Amino acid sequence: MLRSKFLWQLYTTLGAVVMVSIVVFGTLTLAQLQIDTRLNIEQSLTNQAAILRHYLHPYLEAGDQITQAELVSLVEGGGARVTVIDAEGVVIADNRQEPGVMDNHRERPEVLQATSEGFGVSERFSTTIGENMLYVALRVQSDQAYIGFIRVAIPLADLEAQHAVIRNRLMFSASVIVAVFLGIGFLAARRISRPLAQITEGASLIAAGHYDHRLPKRSDDEIGRLSSTLNELARQTEERIEDLMSSRNQLAAILSGLTEGVIAVDPNQKILHMNESAGRMLQLQSNVAIRSPLGDVVRVNEVRQAVDTCLSELISVNATVKVRDSTLDVLVAVLRNSDWESAAGAIVVIEDITEMLRLEQVRSDFVANASHELKTPISAIRGFVETILDDEQMPDDIAKKFIGRIRSQSARLDTIVNDLIHLSRFDNYALKMELATLDLGVLLRQIHQSKTEDASDADLSFHSAICDTAVEVNGEIKALEQMVVNLVDNAFKYTPAGGVVTLRLYTLGQMGVVEVEDNGIGIPEDERQRIFERFYRVDRGRSRKQGGTGLGLSIVKHIVQSHHGSVDLVSEVDKGSTFRVSIPLMVAEARNRV
């Protein structure tokens, strides 16, 4: 019984209510008591000041000096500090301090308030006695003019002591009340939760297949009616469970293997069945949607309209709909009754064609970009050839210049075709690569040595920072060489003369990391996501001038992916870029295979 979650939930809720009530009541009560105590003390000080004003009025009116001994004798037995102040703010007498050493009190807050209102109160630190004090001042008036002030004060420590006594008593009372109520609440919660625990245990047995189990009916309240309802449910379930399980298993076996989404509805558009694929595509929960109206569950208007049309006109309807970032092809087919004159329901078949459309768009963009890139050198070659053929008297030096341009454009055309061949090769993941164990350090040193002369021709400094330990990976040497060369060439192209390009190699965990860093033009933030697209260039004019095709980084990405690695970019405009390639080491590769 003590393990019942409902018991502790009910008891916790009751305890929380009691605690919150006590805390709120105690807080408000304590606050009010503190306010009342403060007002009572202020009133007490005011009364003392009024009494003193009656006795000291003649002295102030006659201008006689009041000695400290006289004042102490007058307020003997009281714990308050009394100060007598004349109309100019000069302290005449004080029962705690010699008046001669005290400052003028004309600007004290309580004195200023008493000057204008006849009564003043303030709470502040007293520099004279070094304590926080509560001051009450009364104006002493003679005829139409005031002749001085009587000020009474007590340390705030006394007030806090009274507050502490009240607070401690209130907390003790609250603790007793909480303990009593929690004890009573536990007994009440246990009385309520005990029959519910029995019902829960019985329902669990019924759910587990013990349909002959019956719950005792102890009362005629809601809990008793719940027991009767569960008993009736168990009886009916025992009669129907075999037919339902058989039908369900057959339907589940048919639909579970389908990747397409399937929804079955009756003539009233109530959902009879929906597989997981349909719920996932429409972003629904299939177990919640069963036996619910289609219009209440599916929020896609095109799907609801297609079902309406199908059931009203008894025809099949096809539609293409967008659900957030997915594109779905929806086919709604009518299910006819045996008389073929009315609908017994409809079947909705949903297919996610997002990836297919994306691939079609990629293919279309690739064809368009490739055609554009190929058209430029072909048009240039054709133009030069036609010029040479049409002008039979063209000087040899001009004809030689045109032939040189033809050769240059032919070389560019050859570069584009070779890059396309490489890209197609690495784009095919099913292609078997010639993998072997190789040391990236040896490969990068060879590349650095071969590219140093190219860097010198471009007036660039080409440095290397390659770790001394072996960095062995499982890869294709030609592909990895092309990957690094493409990154280095890309850095050379976009780094102005006098710049620095650095080639690094190090290990990070189970990954070998290759970095190519430059201090060139950098890449704007809005273009970094597209930098690995085919034929995309940050500076098109500069890239074409230096023979770039826009395929180098796309080839790099595909090579990295084919080696189960990743490529990252860190760049800042006018400060440079760093391309970082991470490839699993041989140890990691072997561990993954195990």
Give the SS3 label for residue 213. coil
- Cα 225 from Cα 191, distance rounded (Å): 17
- Which helix H or strand E contains 81, and what residues bound it? strand 81-86
- Give the position of tokens 């190519």: 516
Distant-in-sequence, close-in-space partners of 532: CB < 8 Å, separation ≥ 6: 553, 554, 556, 557, 567
The pLDDT score that the predictor gives to residue 415 is: 65
pLDDT mean values, one per 10 residues, the chain (594 residues): 63 76 80 80 84 81 74 74 86 82 85 87 79 86 83 81 78 80 73 71 76 71 76 77 74 70 87 81 70 83 88 88 86 83 86 80 64 70 80 80 79 66 57 79 92 89 92 89 88 90 93 93 77 58 48 80 88 90 76 46
Strands 436-439 and 500-508: unpaired
Both tokens assigned to 493 = 């192209």
Give the SS3 label for residue 95. coil
Alpha helices in 349-493 (DSSP H): 354-390, 396-427, 440-457, 477-493
The pLDDT score that the predictor gives to residue 145 is: 80
The pLDDT score that the predictor gives to residue 459 is: 92
Contact call for residues 313 and 324 (beta carbons, < 8 A): no
The pLDDT score that the predictor gives to residue 289 is: 63
- The residues pairing with 261 across neighbouring beta strands, listed in sequence order, are 350
- Give the position of tokens 């040896």: 442
The pLDDT score that the predictor gives to residue 534 is: 56
The pLDDT score that the predictor gives to residue 359 is: 67
- Cα 469 from Cα 31, distance rounded (Å): 73
Count Cα atoms within 13 angstroms, Cβ side, for 389.
6
The pLDDT score that the predictor gives to residue 13 is: 78
* CB-CB neighbours of 252 under 10 Å: 12
Nearest 10 degrees: CA dihedral of 106, 107, 113, 118?
0
Angle, CA of 149, 154 and 159, to the nearest 5°: 140
The pLDDT score that the predictor gives to residue 410 is: 78
Both tokens assigned to 224 = 């008793």
Give, rounded to a whole angstrom, the gap between the first and last alpha carbons of the chain. Answer: 50
- Cα 192 from Cα 11, distance rounded (Å): 10
- Closest listed residue to residue 244, CA positions, set 293, 290, 292, 295: 290
The pLDDT score that the predictor gives to residue 430 is: 39
- Cα 270 from Cα 106, distance rounded (Å): 87
Contact call for residues 326 and 352 (beta carbons, < 8 A): yes
Q: What is the 3-state secondary structure (H, E, C) of 252-291?
A: HHHHCCCCCEEEEECCCCEEEEECHHHHHHCCCCHHHHCC
The pLDDT score that the predictor gives to residue 542 is: 44
- Cα 211 from Cα 239, distance rounded (Å): 9
- pLDDT, one tens digit per residue, over 23-52 is 887 788 878 877 887 788 888 888 888 888
Contact call for residues 549 and 489 (beta carbons, < 8 A): no
Find how far residue 517's CA is from the centre of its chain. 33
- Cα 333 from Cα 349, distance rounded (Å): 8
Contact call for residues 432 and 564 (beta carbons, < 8 A): no
The pLDDT score that the predictor gives to residue 594 is: 38
Q: What is the amino acid identity at position 137?
A: A
* CB-CB neighbours of 583 under 10 Å: 24
How distant, in Å, are the alpha carbons of 70, 89, 131, 479, 536 from that of 128? 21, 16, 8, 89, 82
Strands 461-466 and 500-508: parallel
